[in-house]
Amino acid sequence: MHVNDSSGGSALDSAESARRMVDAAVDKKAQDVVLLDIHDVSSIADYFVICTGGNPRQISAIAEAIDEQLGDVGVDLIRREGKPDSGWMLLDFGDVVCHIFGPVEREFYRLERIWSAAPRLLYVE
């Protein structure tokens, strides 16, 4: 699934990183996982992954799984914002950014509405 470079490391494009992020979230039973292609509507990233965790423990597990999954293939986390108890965490990998919300926070912030001009590439309930 990833391309190995000659030094033995891996090189993933942002689309493959986003797919791996979605897979990790789904593996941890994240709900309403959305993959948005924002590269034509914003310069901050190429993709947003937005998902919901049912409680702080699940939000933390989703974040850790994503960080581990991408870290294992050489994609480093640049910045982590928020805390599971706040109902929102952001994982910034540069070209791909993940927002993990609690149910109430997801409904309140409605990022899909804010980024409605971005094509929705994937939705997993």
In the numeric block, which tokens belong to residue 110? Answer: 């409605």
Q: Identify the pLDDT of residue 31.
A: 98
Question: CATH number for the domain including 82?
Answer: 3.30.460.10
How far apart, in whole angstroms, are the C-alpha atoms of residue 29 and residue 115? Answer: 24
Residue 111 lies in a domain: yes
Q: Identify the pLDDT of residue 11.
A: 58
Residue 23 lies in a domain: no
Residue 82 lies in a domain: yes
Residue 9 lies in a domain: no
Q: Identify the pLDDT of residue 8.
A: 38
Residue 41 lies in domain = 30-124
* Three-state secondary structure call for residue 97: strand
The number of folded domains in the chain is: 1
Residue ranges, the chain, pLDDT below 50: 1-10
Residue 7 lies in a domain: no
Residue 10 lies in a domain: no
Residue 100 lies in a domain: yes
pTM: 0.89
